[in-house]
Structure formats: C-alpha cells, structure tokens
Amino acid sequence: MTVARPQGQAPGFHRLVLGDFVVTALLDGTVSGVDQKLTGIDRARVELLLAEACVPRPTETSINTFLIHTGSHRVLVDTGAGALMGPRAGRLLSNLRAAGHAPEDIDTVLLTHIHTDHSGGLSAGGARVFPNAVVRVDRLEADFWLNPAQAERAGAEQKKRFQWARDAVGPYQAAGRFEPFEGD
C-alpha cells in the first residue's frame, strides 16, 4: 500500500517522506534548565560553551515524538511528557490532531525508553491515551522501571519516576496491550 504524500507543514509538526513511509515529527513542548541536570562536567565550562554559542538562559530543550505512517500501520515513537513536565509540555495530542491523526489511529507505540519525557504522554487519569495501541519497549527497560524491588532501592527523588513509569504503562498492561521485546 502506498502512503498518500503529505501536503503542507504547520507549527507543532513537520513531515518528511522516507521511501514509502511518511515520518511526522510532533512537538510535545519544551522544558527548560536541562543543562542544570548535566553531571560529571565542569559547570564553568558549560556556562562558557553556552555563552559562546549564544544560547539563552535558561536553556530550553524540545520534547519531540515521531509518527511513522507505513501505509498499513501508524507507529508512534515515544509519547512526550504529557502533564508531567510543566505547562510548556503536553502538546502531543493537539499537534497529532493538527497533523491529521487521532489517538485512536495509533496501533503501536514504541518507547525508546521509559523516562518521563518519552513515556509521560501514554496515559492520562489512569486511562490509555492511545486506546488501540500496543506499547512496545525493550524488556530491560520494562524490567528496570516496572520492578517494585528496583523502585524500593531508589532514592527519594527517583521513587517518583518509578511511580510515573508504572502509571504510564499500567493501563496498557491491564488491557493486555503491553509487549516488551528482546534483542536488537
């Protein structure tokens, strides 16, 4: 099946044709201060490099997801932060709709990993945001973030990230729509 060639662009999404697929980059929003989370680097060096690059302070980083339309499948790679990272994030659904797709159109969600800015948009209020999707993620990620023993060993700040991971993935697990994979 051939995918219809996209027409036009809009703020919040950008399409490109890659072979027979249409890949749409979707903006979920932005988060500031990411450079403050860098570890193992000299802070003065970071400040110097940012100033030399004329990067405004505080730094702002985009949270993006990607929709791959193959003609027969709509695969969403990551789901953004949802409501978990402040008021400048959580725009995935409006940008998905602006690009001509509905959450119900998504049949697969592929999580690159289960950090908040990649999986926070999976669920809202305990419900699946993408009701027809199967969520796929590497088994090692699932075994780490969804393991209560791992969460128990985590520090106080990390414990909430484990809870967010369980909250995001839980509705898909309960519906039998969570399928970790192994291998490359």
pLDDT at 166 over 90: yes
Structure-model confidence comparison of residues 14 and 41, the more confident one? 14
Global pTM exceeds 0.95: no
H or E segment and range at residue 167: helix 156-174
**What three-state secondary structure class fits 14?**
strand
* Angle, vertex CA 49, rays to CA 44 and CA 55, nearest 5: 115
Inter-residue contact 21 to 70 (CB < 8 Å)? yes
CA–CA separation, 17 vs 153, rounded Å? 45
Mean pLDDT of 41-65: 87
Query: What proportion of the chain, given as a percentage, has pLDDT over 90?
Result: 68
Which residues is 66 bridged to in the sheet? 25, 77
**Mean pLDDT of all residues in 38-66:** 86
Do 110 and 70 contact (CB within 8 A), yes or no? Answer: no
Evaluate whether 107 touches 73 at the Cβ level (below 8 Å). Answer: yes
Q: What is the CA radius of gyration of the chain?
A: 18
What average pLDDT does the segment 131-141 reach?
97
Residue 30's H or E segment, with its range, is strand 21-32
Q: Higher pLDDT residue, 39 or 90?
A: 90
Question: For residues 96 and 6, which has the higher predicted lDDT (pLDDT)?
Answer: 96
Q: Per DSSP, which regions of 52-165 are E strands?
A: 60-69, 74-77, 108-110, 123-124, 127-128, 134-136
Using the predicted structure, report yes or no on whether residue 39 has a pLDDT greater than 60. yes
Q: Please tell me the predicted confidence (pLDDT) of residue 77.
A: 98
For residue 8, pLDDT beyond 60: no
Say which residue, 29 or 2, is predicted with more confidence: 29
Digit-coded pLDDT (tens) for 79-129: 999 988 888 899 999 999 999 999 999 999 999 999 999 999 999 999 999
